[in-house]
Amino acid sequence: MSSFFTFAGPYDNGGNGKHNEIDIEFLGYDVGRVQLNFWTNDDTYATSHEELIPLGFDPLGAFHRYGFKWTSKSIAWYIDGNLVREHFDGLNDPIPKATESLQKIMVNVWPVDDTASGWAGTFVYPGKALHAVYDWVRYIAGESCTFDNPPGSSPPPPTGGATTVSVQQISMSIDSRATQAIAKVSVVNDLGQQVAGATVTGTWSGVIATGDTSRTTDSAGVATFYSSRSRTPGTVGFCVNGVTAGNLKYVAPVNTCSSIVK
C-alpha cells in the first residue's frame, strides 16, 4: 500500500489529540484505481469514507498529479488538475477541522499483514525491494488556495515519464578462487523502474585497481563489472563515475562506491 495523506492523532502535539486523516491511497491489488478517504475525530475507525476512483491510465507508467483542497466547507480531490470527488461538511458527517487537528503531511509505502489483506490484498514478497516514488510535494495555505502556481514559487514539474537515472545499488562479491572481484550496479529511473541499455562507467581501487571500466545494463537494469585477477589479500573497491541512458539525466546518489575484502 502506497499513500499520500495528512494525519493527526493521539501522539501529536497540539490539536485535540484525536484521529483525523485525509487520504490518497494506492491498494496493491488494484493499481488501476486510487482510494480517496478521510476520518474525523475517529479513534475507533467507526466511520470511513472510502471511495475507489478509476484512473483510466497506468499509474506505474508515468508521474501524475494527485492532490486535494481542504477548506472549512469541503474536501475536494483532484487528479492531474481535474476534480474527481468532493465531500461537503455536515453536522451529521463533518470533515476534519483545522481548528481541532494539526495535521501533518505524510507519504509512505508498507506491506500489509493478514489483518489488512482483505483491504489491500495479500502481500507476496517478489524477492526484491519494492518502492513508491514521489517526484515532488507542495503545500499551499489558505481557503482561497488553487492548484495554479502561486506568486513567487516555481511551477511543479510537468506530468509525464521518467527524466532522470541513478544508481540504486552496488553489490560486491568475490569469485570462488578468491582472485577476482565482481561489482553489480543496479540502475533505475526516477519512476523506480530498471533501466536496460544504460552505459555505466567506473573505477577499481585497493589491492586490485584494474578491470572493467565500462559496461551496459542488461534487461534487469544491472551492469556487471569484473576486476583483474590477483591473489593478494585485502580490500577491493569499486566506484561508479557516471551513467548514460538516452535523454535521462544522471543523478549521482550520496554514495557511489562499494568495497569488499578478499
Active-site residue numbers?
21, 25
105 and 139 Cβ atoms separated by less than 8 Å: yes
- The number of CA neighbours under 13 Å toward the Cβ of 254 is 0
- Concatenated DSSP letters of 160-207: BS--EEEEEEEEEEE-TTSS-EEEEEEEEETTS-B-TT-EEEEEEEET
Which DSSP letter does residue 115 get? G
- Distance separating alpha carbons of residues 224 and 173, to the nearest angstrom: 11
- Concatenated DSSP letters of 2-37: EEEEEEE-TTSSSS-SS-EEEEEEE-TT-TTEEEEE
φ, ψ of residue 120 to 5 degrees: the values are -110, 0
Instruction: Please report where in the chains the cell 476512483 appears, as a residue.
Output: 53
37 and 20 Cβ atoms separated by less than 8 Å: no
62 and 191 Cβ atoms separated by less than 8 Å: yes
| Cα dist from 118 to 28, 33, 45, 212, 219, whole Å | 11, 16, 16, 49, 34
Neighbour count for residue 229 (Cβ, 10 Å): 14
- Concatenated DSSP letters of 59-92: TTTSB--EEEEE-SSEEEEEETTEEEEEEE--SS
